[in-house]
Amino acid sequence: MRVAIIGQGYVGQTIAVGAAGAGHTVVGFDLNAGLVDQLNSGKSHIEGISDSELASLISSNFFTASTDPSVLEGSDVIVIAVPTPLDGDRNPDLSYVHAAAELINQQVKSPVLIINESTSYPGTLRNEIAARITGVEHLFASSPERVDPGNTQWGTKNTPRLIGGLTPAAVAKAREFYGSFCDSIIEVSSPEVAEAAKIFENTFRQVNIALVNEFAQISDALGISGREVIEAAATKPYGFMPFNPGPGVGGHCIPVDPSYLAHVANEVGVPATFIKRANEVNLAMPAYVVKRVVTGAGGSIAGKSVVVIGVSYKANVADTRETPAAAVIDLLRAEGANVVWHDELVGSWRGESSVPLSPHDIAVVVTKHDGVSDAAIKACGYVFDCTGTVAGVDGI
Ligand SMILES: NC(=O)c1ccc[n+]([C@@H]2O[C@H](COP(=O)([O-])OP(=O)(O)OC[C@H]3O[C@@H](n4cnc5c(N)ncnc54)[C@H](O)[C@@H]3O)[C@@H](O)[C@H]2O)c1
């Protein structure tokens, strides 16, 4: 098939490589000219895709990137993979989705299968995309992306893929497309079910992470190790699923998607109380971390040199979106500490650069990428570990 993908970020590029690898002719459309040039020169910008894999798909003409919207016309399939962030009031911002729909409306005059992979609330495909694309009998399906960047066990191929379409013909064509590079396809009765499943999955994680974050604080106050309790509870072979405490939640999904569910819940008059409380608990974690650091370091960190280790939101990715490291650093500075950070994957962020890992008065481990040495961390005077991976130091 001839496939056009709108948006070449984490999701768009992942699908582009999956589809091109299966022998489809893929064009990755993005407004960001710098990114398009980078991709066309064979340089991947995400961890799970190597430069050589990308370069080989380009040289065999299975993949090309473009900023020219006319590439959309003549496709068999168009996949929308654009950002769905929150606005300043933490409400859904569908402006990128609307812009993608408008682009298709203007550019595409022959019938095509339009799939939305961007995460959004139920009703988005029907009311925010299909309703804006008029005059041509397109097929519409929703297949929310479940990619977990950096996960080496579960990728596009072996993560079961949900499909819901506006018509049986849309579902059949979407099945044919995804079946060419995904092992397992699960059809659901409507796009709304597929859309809701994705945001419910992430809400499940958000709420459970908040629960375990609160539990870690209770355990610490009781003088027992929350992590040991979780490990012990996880020995039960049924009815329990372990989650790990940490400095908060980050990335594009867990801090954002539940608010999409809360938004529609509010519209239909059902208060999403768990989501609200989970947000509060997770957003308060950086303050809890800094309180523990101040106490652990002897009551004051004013004038102390502090290195924050790992500023991306999770291990082995360079993604700093919504990272709790930002609040941890700001709050450490508010306590008067001189704070630098070490994260070679991120390199530069918020106008600052990663420093080499050397001894400081205090180290706060927010995220630990592979290859960061425990010995170098422990060379610091006081260590607070938010990851549970540095043995024999203070932490959550
Ligand atoms: N990153 C993840 O781990 C992940 C996982 C599952 C689902 N999702 C969802 O997938 C969607 C995309 O996320 P992402 O992480 O790939 O975002 P991203 O920010 O990495 O990439 C989005 C890309 O879309 C481009 N773009 C924006 N508007 C455009 C337009 N009108 N036309 C063409 N290109 C446009 C941007 O330039 C950017 O390169 C979001 O809804 C997100 O919630 C993300």
Has residue 90 got a pLDDT over 90? no
Ligand 1 centroid from CA 100, angstroms: 11
Model confidence at 150, pLDDT cuts 50, 70, 90, reads: confident
Ligand 1 atom with least separation from CA of 119: 41
Ligand 1 centroid from CA 69, angstroms: 17
Q: Which two tokens stand for residue 267?
A: 């519209």
Digit-coded pLDDT (tens) for 260-291: 999 999 999 999 999 999 999 999 999 999 99
Instruction: Give me the mean pLDDT over the 179-190 stretch.
Output: 98
Does pTM top 0.85 for this prediction? yes
- E strands along the chain, which residues? 2-6, 25-29, 63-66, 77-80, 113-116, 139-142, 161-165, 185-187, 305-309, 338-342, 348-349, 352-353, 362-365, 382-385, 394-395
Which residues lie with the beta carbon below 6 Å from any ligand 1 atom? 6-12, 29-32, 35, 81-84, 96, 99-100, 103, 118-119, 145-147, 149, 252-253
**What does the pLDDT read at residue 48?**
82
Q: What is the mean pLDDT of the chain?
A: 97
**What does the pLDDT read at residue 148?**
85
Has residue 132 got a pLDDT over 90? yes
Has residue 7 got a pLDDT over 90? yes
Has residue 188 got a pLDDT over 90? yes
Which residue puts its alpha carbon closest to atom 36 of ligand 1? 7
Pairing of strands 348-349, 352-353: antiparallel
CB 49 within 8 A of CB 188: no
Q: Identify any residues that bridge with 3 across adjacent strands, giving them in sequence order.
A: 26, 77
Model confidence at 92, pLDDT cuts 50, 70, 90, reads: very high
**What does the pLDDT read at residue 386?**
98
At position 33, the amino acid (one-letter code) is A
Has residue 128 got a pLDDT over 90? yes
Establish whether 182 is a catalytic residue: no
Contacts of 188 by beta carbon, 8 Å cutoff, 6+ apart: 162, 163, 164, 194, 197
Catalytic residue among 182, 253, 380, 386: 253
